[in-house]
Structure 1
Amino acid sequence: AFLYRRLATLPETSNRFHLNVELAIPFDGLGRMEVDLLCTNPRIAIEIDGAQHLGDTTAYRRDRKKDILLQENGYMVLRFLAEDIGKHLDDVLDTILRAISRGENNKLIQAER
């Protein structure tokens, strides 16, 4: 929730991201999947990985499958370690801002076609 609260304070990201959103994308035997943070315009899914994701091949495979499904459904996926959000927040925010800019630029290019 820390990253979500920080994104809410920036003009470029305020009101863009939603916390713990369920998407109608079948995953893990369910008819839906949950993403940590979601921006719908442009389509960006942010996943925050804690220590349980490190060194566990099952969790790694599950995360890659989730990334692929999100990408197949038109989302840019950004994945950060929880530790990096605490220790390298500026780098994380820069990455998110670049992704938003890239997503907006792609929309402009498609609109010009």
Structure 2
Amino acid sequence: MSSEKPNYFDLVYQVVREIPKGRVTSYGTIAHYLGLKSGARMVGYAMNAAHTLSDVPAHRVVNRHGLLTGKAHFVPPTRMQALLESEGVVVENDKIRDFDKLFWDPEKELGI
């Protein structure tokens, strides 16, 4: 049995890379899917660290209400919204319009 701990950020990034263009998910949903004990906060830390990784679409991860709470970590902060809008997602007042319709659940899409 290996004593090596999994790299949670890498696990989060693997899930985030699966989110299709024009769809969004939440920090908590990813945490639940991965069984992360530290929950949504750990996913948030991973997303904050992902902004230098071009293959991790961190802009597709929002809070459970569809709010762009991570926008402050983008340069400039309007970049998160611009990236979403370039994929056809409508954002009004920092919130995803039709969040329920655009919501992507890894448990349903990827299985357990």
Q: TM-score, normalised by structure 2?
A: 0.30
Asked which structure has the greater RCO (Cα within 8 Å, sep 6+), the reply is 2
Larger radius of gyration: 1
